[in-house]
Amino acid sequence: MQQVTLIRQKREGCGPLIQPLSDPARPLRQQIFERVRAVGHIARVQLAKELCISPASVTTLTSELIEAGFLEEVQTPRDGDGGRGRPAVALGVKPGTHYVAGIKLSDREHTAVIVDFAGNLIADEAIPQTPGPSDLEQLLDAAETLLDRVCAKSGLPRSALMAVGLGVPGFVDCATGVVHWSPVLSTRHVPLGTALHQRLGLAVYIDNDANLVTLAELWFGAGRKLSDFAVVTIEHGLGMGFVINHRIYRGSRGMGMELGHTKVQLDGALCRCGQRGCLEAYVADYALVREAQTALNLPYKEVPSVGALLESLFDHAKAGNGAARSIFRRAGRYLALGLSNIVNLFDPQLIILSGERMRYDYLYAKETFAEMQELTLDTGRDAPRIEIHAWGDLLWAHGAAALALHELTERLLGQAREMAAQ
More confident position, 316 or 126:
126
The last residue of a domain, from among 35, 61, 94:
94
Give the C-alpha separation, 185 to 206, whole Å. 15
Is the pLDDT at 147 greater than 90? The verdict is yes
Do 244 and 386 sit in the same domain of this protein? Answer: yes
Please check whether residue 316 lies inside any domain of the structure: yes
Q: How far apart are the first and last CA of the chain?
A: 21
Please check whether residue 55 lies inside any domain of the structure: yes
* pTM assigned to the model: 0.85
Give the C-alpha separation, 282 to 332, whole Å. 9
CATH number for 252: 3.30.420.40
Do 400 and 387 sit in the same domain of this protein? Answer: no
Number of domains in the chain: 3
Give the per-residue pLDDT at 307.
75
Do 284 and 245 sit in the same domain of this protein? Answer: yes
One-letter amino acid for residue 221 of the chain: G
Range of the domain at 124: 99-214+395-412
Do 378 and 401 sit in the same domain of this protein? Answer: no
Give the C-alpha separation, 36 to 24, whole Å. 16
Please check whether residue 420 lies inside any domain of the structure: no
Do 88 and 106 sit in the same domain of this protein? Answer: no
Do 238 and 362 sit in the same domain of this protein? Answer: yes
Do 268 and 192 sit in the same domain of this protein? Answer: no
Give the C-alpha separation, 392 to 62, whole Å. 38
Please check whether residue 422 lies inside any domain of the structure: no
Average pLDDT over residues 60-64: 95
The last residue of a domain, from among 94, 126, 157:
94
Do 230 and 361 sit in the same domain of this protein? Answer: yes
Please check whether residue 418 lies inside any domain of the structure: no
pLDDT digits (tens, 9 = 90+) for 196-239: 999 999 999 999 989 999 999 999 988 998 989 999 988 778 99
Please check whether residue 421 lies inside any domain of the structure: no
Do 330 and 250 sit in the same domain of this protein? Answer: yes
pLDDT digits (tens, 9 = 90+) for 231-264: 998 877 899 999 988 889 988 877 788 899 999 9
Give the C-alpha separation, 31 to 37, whole Å. 10
CATH number for 89: 1.10.10.10
Give the C-alpha separation, 22 to 97, whole Å. 28
155 SS3 class: coil
Do 117 and 208 sit in the same domain of this protein? Answer: yes
Average pLDDT over residues 51-75: 93
Give the per-residue pLDDT at 84.
59
Give the per-residue pLDDT at 335.
92
Residues whose CB falls within 8 Å of the CB of residue 380, separated by 6 or more in sequence, listed in order: none
Do 255 and 373 sit in the same domain of this protein? Answer: yes
Do 106 and 66 sit in the same domain of this protein? Answer: no
Is the pLDDT at 105 greater than 60? The verdict is yes
Give the C-alpha separation, 54 to 35, whole Å. 15
The last residue of a domain, from among 65, 94, 123:
94
Is the pLDDT at 324 greater than 90? The verdict is no
> How does strand 99-104 pair with strand 161-168?
parallel
